Structure 1
Amino acid sequence: MPRISAATVADHRASQHAALLEAAMEILVAEGPGALTPAAVGAKVGLARSSVYRYFSSTAGILAQLVEEAIPRWAGRLRAVSTGDGTLEERVRAFGAATLEFVRSPDHVLLRTLASVELPAECQERVDQLHETMIEPLRDMAAEAGHAQPDLVAHLAWSVLGEGQRRLAAGGPSEVVTPTTLDVLCRAIIN
């Protein structure tokens, strides 16, 4: 019987799962998506590949679980800054700034990777659902501003933020990209 390193088997499994996810993110950030395999993740934490399959069915399964942690974390942050105190413009700018800061997060590498891999249909559907939770605060602020089509406005505004992120990720000067992106975002959301 394998040894457990926690008070209960459930605690041990939870600890192993967390360690595997942390290792997967480290591999993804340091080596890229091609290096992310169940065997590589297992090797990083000292588990056999067959043991890793108790936690993930495939590389896509690893990515899906990383997303299940990353997107809700960022969506919560975006929701918090968009519903806090301040004028609508201040909240829109805070939302935009938090979205642009995402480029500096390891989670950004994860989401860029998702765009480059083929996920099973059910995983892609879940990623799409989670992605919508990040856009939801923009939709709410567009409705608050009186837009007749808040969903469309929110998605168009999200595209503005996406372009700002791409430029920052490519090394664009943040002192130019960030304020310009936030100004365009405000014009899109606020009538």
Structure 2
Amino acid sequence: MTAAQADLPTDLRAKFLEMPEGLRLDSPAVADGAAIWRIARDSKVLDLNSSYSYLLWCRDFAATSVVARGADGEPAGFITGYIRPERPDTLLVWQVAVDHEQRGRGLAGALLDGLTAKVAAERELTAIETTITPDNTASERLFLSYARRHGASVERKILFDAGLFPDDGHEAEVLYRIGPISAPGR
């Protein structure tokens, strides 16, 4: 259980997944940028951004992102996110990735719950948004499971049509808006 989860009322705590044994939730640091880039690259499903962008993300958006650390302190998974400027009560989850050796342990769901608790402890949070390509069933399962666990509805619409992308073969990005979500600790 994370510190933020421990602060939740008992009735809400049951809705939040605990971190798998041997892992702990933490905020990313700039020094984690290279490992996060490698996890994203090795996922083979995420759009890989420059290594520089992951360093910036760890510096500028650490408050709205999380990493799972193993006993050695190295990242085993991560979620990057940011607060939408036009909707300050909405967290956009940008990327979710788990190291291959940690898959199948519920880590992505625990990271998502931990991130929600972390952000909601600092600000009003009523919705989460993410985009998912139609072929990414793992991400769809993750976010639909999150919505069910938290009793939230899911709205879906195409945010970016495939024709908007300059590279061939990029699928449409479907926006998933999940809410209202319970504001832990509020």
TM-score strictly above 0.5: no
Give the TM-score taking structure 1 as reference length: 0.30
When Rg is computed on C-alpha atoms for both structures, the one with the higher figure is 1
Higher helix share: 1
Higher strand share: 2
